[in-house]
Structure 1
Amino acid sequence: MSQYRRLLLIIHLALGHSPAISHAAALARASGASLHIAALIPSLNLLSLLENGDREKARERYLQDHRDWLKDQEKLLRGTGVDVTTEVAWADDMRQDILDYVAQLQPDLLIKEIQHESALKRALFTPLDWRLLRQCPVPVYLVGGSGHALPRKVVAAVDASAGESEHSELNDRIIQQASSLAIQCDAELHLLYAHDISEDYLAELSDSFKLSALSKGVRKELEKSFLAFASQYGVPADRRHFVLGHPVTALSEFASEHHVDVIVMGRAQYQGLEHPLGSTTEHILYQVPCSVLAV
């Protein structure tokens, strides 16, 4: 039985085909889920310069153009067997409006195209995609790169060194989501663990230790732990990948070299103050040449 029954796709740049539409449609066909597409359009400040009567007419014409375009997309998708509905609406607060749609429709998955932001802008403002990762109550599928619309290679990125029950449960959810996605799409499932030894152990070095000797011992223990972890889930030996290096860099390089379509990762949901610099999953969005499913 499919884990997806209802998918919600958010687009806010209608009148220009979004790759996310193809990805959402392919997943809906593969899983038999219904798909609702909501095109959210930021309010146009320029319209405030018009007189009230002209403003309302301009808003309605603008909205109708988007409705007509999206209805054409709906017709095309229905012709390929997708159970799809669409709507167009103004968005005064994009983040809150998206979360309201999620609360109202209760989808199994929120799908959205990655919105790339510059490093300077990320330093000044928390990107929309980061805020959704932190606050959305359902898994978030962020479409990026030029991978296949229907995934052929899915990678579950886990932390095999995490012994706490909280991290263990998150690993379970990551693998379950990745496995279900791979089964529904008839894709390969790979398990990957990327660890940066220097972050944990460089600070502990003294003159009597050499980094190379310490790294070999740590690597051996971590790899042993990872292989035992992978065995628990029955992952074939040729689909287990243990790599050293900063997770963002290591995952990006792996995804590029192995033509990965989707990386499934865990995400942090913050209580109170948020992390201003972003988590690994959040930074991955701007580095990997593929889509990211965050659970």
Structure 2
Amino acid sequence: MLDINHLLVVLDAEHPEQIALDKALWLAGVLKADVSLLTSVYEPYCGDSSSLEEATKQQIRRARIDSTERWIESFVPEVQERGITVRTEVHWQKHLHEAVIKSMRATDYDLVVKGTHPHSLIDRLFTHTDWNLMRHCPAPVLLVKSPAAWQHNRILAAIDATSVDDGHQLINDNILSFAEHLADHFDTDLHMVNAFPQVAIAFAMVPEVTAPDDIQAYITEQHQDACEQLAKKYNIHEDHVHIAEGETDTVVAETAIAVAADVLVVGSVGRSGIAGVLIGNTAEQLVDKVPCDVIVIKPQDGVLPEAE
């Protein structure tokens, strides 16, 4: 069963609105979960290479941590007023995602919740917090676009139905398992979307090779059959299965808008380095293309089995 008992909410003092907190409080109320609020603080001139006296560095560090603790504690009364158990964490870390990963080494959180906003290529080149969490966080990550509760009762799961490698098949199962159980918790409709390649364009790039007449029909049938099997496995209604030809990020984004999805559940294989940035990870591209919240699932983010 889907076990979301502990939410880790990532707060960023540089952002005036903490939309992740609003969404997390709604989730915690529905799921009967507890909440941990996390942030980080760091001053470069307090680092090991700083020329300041050690006592001065410690004094500055303590003052900055104390100030940040007062800031994050200011959110506690709002959480407690809703009857939700809450704790806070302030980490001395240069990067916010490093604080999240450090925290998760000590505590098993079921879902990390963070607000997000549009990103540029520069953000990606300089390993923005969101990108690092999507790739490396040892738990599913909910990137929040709006503080409001989900209102349309629709969850959209994006999968690659015909992928044959073990990694993508595992992600497909994790995406659909998570989405199915999330839909059960919130009594919402579950939709599934799958894109398949535009074969004509691929063959146009190699004009010396002639495309078989029936190749597109064959590929279409493959995806339809694979989606039908997955839909039956995860109890998705036939009219909630969306299959279209085109680039994955475009098809998924258009479908999310068309069905008025509240949240998109998508997988990430965790590419790293410049190659990952330039080639692009579909999950990362979709965060900026869809208007709804996005939950990013990785190969290790499986749903817990039913207890005996």
TM over 0.5: yes
In structure 1, give the amino acid aligned to 2:141. V
In structure 2, give the amino acid aligned to 1:276. V
Contact kept in structure 1, 2:91 and 2:99, CA below 8 Å: no
Whole-Å separation in 2 of the counterparts to 1:251 and 1:156 = 9
The C-alpha deviation readout for 1:4-58, integer Å capped at 9, x for no partner, is: 1211111122673311111111111111121101122343769x99999998777
- Secondary structure class of the residue paired with 1:275: helix
How far the C-alpha of 1:75 sits from its partner, in A, is 0.9
Contact kept in structure 2, 1:150 and 1:185, CA below 8 Å: no
Q: Which residue of structure 2 aligns with residue 86 of structure 1? A: 88
Unaligned runs of 5+ in 2: 298-308
Cα distance change on mapping 1:14 and 1:276 into 2, 3 Å = closer
Whole-Å separation in 1 of the counterparts to 2:21 and 2:228 = 37
Superposition RMSD in Å: 3.3
Contact kept in structure 1, 2:10 and 2:113, CA below 8 Å: yes
The C-alpha deviation readout for 1:80-110, integer Å capped at 9, x for no partner, is: 1222212334422333222101111121112
How far the C-alpha of 1:160 sits from its partner, in A, is 0.8
- Bigger mean CA offset, 57-66 vs 233-242: 57-66
How far the C-alpha of 1:264 sits from its partner, in A, is 0.9
- Secondary structure class of the residue paired with 2:277: coil
Contact kept in structure 2, 1:14 and 1:69, CA below 8 Å: no
- Bigger mean CA offset, 248-257 vs 221-230: 221-230
Q: Which residue of structure 2 aligns with residue 178 of structure 1? A: 179
Contact kept in structure 1, 2:264 and 2:294, CA below 8 Å: yes
In structure 2, give the amino acid aligned to 1:258. V
Query: How many residues are matched?
Result: 292
In structure 2, give the amino acid aligned to 1:126. T
- Secondary structure class of the residue paired with 1:176: helix
How far the C-alpha of 1:68 sits from its partner, in A, is 3.6
Identity %: 26
Q: Which residue of structure 2 aligns with residue 141 of structure 1? A: 142
Contact kept in structure 1, 2:203 and 2:209, CA below 8 Å: no
Q: Which residue of structure 2 aligns with residue 76 of structure 1? A: 78
Contact kept in structure 1, 2:12 and 2:18, CA below 8 Å: no
Whole-Å separation in 2 of the counterparts to 1:200 and 1:232 = 32
In structure 1, give the amino acid aligned to 2:81. G
- Bigger mean CA offset, 213-222 vs 49-58: 49-58
In structure 2, give the amino acid aligned to 1:33. A
Q: Which residue of structure 2 aligns with residue 157 of structure 1? A: 158
Contact kept in structure 1, 2:8 and 2:36, CA below 8 Å: yes
Cα distance change on mapping 1:245 and 1:128 into 2, 3 Å = same
